[in-house]
Amino acid sequence: MTPPEIIASEAAKQVLALRGLGALAEKMGIELLELSAERAVATMPVEGNTQPLGLVHGGAYVVLAETLGSFAANVAAGEGRYAVGIEINASHSRSATEGIVTGVCTAISLGRTLTVHEIAVSDESGRRLSTIRITNLIRDAK
């Protein structure tokens, strides 16, 4: 099966080409579908990302969210700059036991030195599973 074409801004395509998705995201089966500074979307399989009770591990939701929020922030940072996460919080409201979960990352604030994104993770029925907020610091590359 061929992976879907990623919907991405030109700046996002440059960030992806330069950095790739990352080893952890790849191990977790995260597939990026859309990427810009304002919005990013990815999916993650439940299988392989569960805790002992068979529920998606809360940390897996956070990895999905940080992948999306950090990439979006790096697109916002622009050429010659990069973003690093400085704060993340998550509230898990329910969990999935099968199928695919989807993270939708939306920019709350895109400043010159800080970005804030909210990531809503939902199941295949559209039920919200987790709400995560990430703040990234934008730095100049040396």
Q: Which residues are catalytic?
A: 66
Query: What token pair was written down for 10?
Result: 């030109």
Helices 58-77/10-19 angle, 10° precision: 120
Nearest residue to 115 via CA among 81, 84, 79, 80: 84
Q: In what order do the strands lie in the sheet containing 7-8? A: 7-8, 31-35, 39-45, 100-110, 114-122, 128-140, 81-92
- Pairing mode, strands 128-140 and 81-92: antiparallel
